[in-house]
Amino acid sequence: MNDEVVKTQETAATEVVAEVNPAPAEKRAGGFNREGREGGRDGHDRRPGGKRPFNKNKRHDEDDGLIKKTVSINRVTKVVKGGRTMRFSALVVVGDGKGKVGVGMGKAGEVPQAIEKATQQAKRSMSEISLLGSTIPHEIIGKFGKGHVLLLPAEAGTGVIAGGPVRSVLEACGVKDIRTKSYGSNNPINCVKATYEGLKSLRTAQQIAALRGKAVDEL
């Protein structure tokens, strides 16, 4: 009688311990999570569509044959009542290398979005530039704000003699031989837009003759 009572108590104690510390399930150890779904090691989910690493070099725009140059990226901060709001501003030049070029600026909370906005604005502002072969038809001074850029035609083989911001506009436009000189403000925005305004003001001899109603020989 006493032996049966002792065995019964031992059996009950074993069942209590088993309930408190259950043995690990084979499925969980083999790669299932708590809800019973298949997962990786330690029961973590490995479902499709999870977090993937961001590829900063991925191009989101279509390959349309245009030359896209990011001239500058600035961080701008706006002070508001609740604190400071930080955004990014991008300056982009777009051209086809055959006499068309545009300039655009875009602002966004992230750099890729700012570049995309600037690129789309530059595409919308593309203008036809009057070129003479690989250079420009005549010298001209482009102005924007306090920035002045002198553009001088050059012989074939000279190359593009210009600074960084000015060079970006000329290369995107398709100018291969030119001399330039910047005056006043050296801000990239002023330099780029002064160059852009100067290029838009170029006229060939045929265009000037047509505007004046004369022949080219009469000019």
SS3 102: strand
Beta-strand pair 67-80/147-153: unpaired
What pLDDT is recorded for position 3? 53
What the chain holds in terms of domains, given with CATH numbers, is 2-43 (no CATH), 67-127 (3.30.160.20), 128-208 (3.30.230.10)
pLDDT class of 218 with cuts at 50, 70, 90: confident
What pLDDT is recorded for position 205? 84
pLDDT class of 130 with cuts at 50, 70, 90: very high
Lowest-confidence range among 53-57, 187-191, 209-213? 53-57
Edge-first strand order for the sheet with 140-144 is 140-144, 147-153, 178-184, 160-161
For residue 137, pLDDT beyond 90: yes
Q: Is the dihedral of CA 188, 191, 197, 203 positive or negative?
A: negative
Lowest-confidence range among 48-62, 87-101, 132-146, 173-187? 48-62
- pLDDT, one tens digit per residue, over 33-77 is 555 555 555 555 555 444 444 343 333 344 578 999 999 999 999
What pLDDT is recorded for position 217? 75
- List CB contacts of 146: < 8 A, sequence separation 6 or more: 184, 185, 187, 190
For residue 201, pLDDT beyond 60: yes
Contact 136, 117 (CB under 8 A): no
